[in-house]
Homo-oligomer: A and B are copies of this chain.
Amino acid sequence: MTTNAHDWFTAAVEALAEPQGQRVWSIIVSFLGDMAQDDGAGISSAALTRVITPLGIKPEAIRVALHRLRKDGWTDSKRRGRGSVHFLTPHGRVQSAQVTPRIYDPTACTTAEWHMLIAAPPSGLELLDALSEGAPDGVIRVNRHTGLAPGPAPAPMSDLLIANARIEHVPTWLQEELFPAPLRQSCASLDAALAPHGTPPALDPLRRACLRTLLVHRWRRIVLRHPRLPVQFHPTDWTGESCRTKVFELLEQLPQPSLSELETAEPLPMTLDIPPPPDAAH
């Protein structure tokens, strides 16, 4: 590892570390989803610690987060040799697989074919609620009574008015409801953090794992918080597509390391000096 590469890596991690504090359990989920989503894939405590302590996370925070993830049924652990190995449960794998296509989709949404569902109280609203709570690419709520979903209309549902729709004009109020101000700010902040780094130098597997985890974690928290919608739905200050381009340019230059490379890697000779978050609840 050249000094230049190490400096580049350190600068990138410092720029990308979250300003509002890091949710350790969420970083672990991002790591497992990115590098250990397959059945049978797992990582030792030691290797996990090597990957995420360079992001400014303390080993005891990792233990607390793993305890929480086990309690919530996302991960499980088993003894191996002198340590433990951690892996996604079947439930955790399903959750992770469900959002993977959205997180790793390098293309902007260009859906032109939609359908609209309009309910009346009370049974139609319950049905619309159920449809909205389904898959991440399910029904997008326009208002309490109205849902919008990609693709052609489904079979008749007795309580709903159903129409195939081509969206001709999206008003500002809807753009801002679908992409709320705090999300727009988070996205602009990631977009700005990604801007100055340019082409990364060749990095070793552990540094690639650190940076991929941080990048996937930041991007995941943006991309899963809004529906997949084409540009006519975007507020004028939405930087999501610029951000997407930068995220995938960088990810492509950080090839995914294998788990065995992480198990055998030397710990990085550094700990970032990232101040603790103001609210370190988790």
Binding site for B on A (CB under 8 A): 114-116, 118, 120, 124, 142-143, 145-146, 153, 156-174, 177
Contact residue among B115, B146, B168, B174 (Cβ-Cβ distance under 8 Å from A168): B115
B114 touches A163 (CB 8 A): yes
Residues from chain B with a CB closer than 8 A to the CB of A174 are 118, 120, 161
B142 touches A161 (CB 8 A): yes
A161 touches B171 (CB 8 A): yes
B156 touches A168 (CB 8 A): yes
CB-CB nearest 10 A-B residue pairs: A156-B169, A163-B165, A162-B169, A153-B168, A164-B166, A120-B173, A162-B168, A165-B165, A163-B167, A159-B171
A177 to B159, CA, bound (A): 13
A141 to chain B, nearest CB (A): 12
A172 to chain B, nearest CB (A): 7
Residues from chain B with a CB closer than 8 A to the CB of A165 are 116, 163-166
A153 to B232, CA, bound (A): 16
A143 to B40, CA, bound (A): 52
A161 to B143, CA, bound (A): 11
A190 to chain B, nearest CB (A): 28
- A159, A165, A170, most chain B CB atoms within 10 A: A165
A23 to B230, CA, bound (A): 55
Residues from chain B with a CB closer than 8 A to the CB of A159 are 171, 173
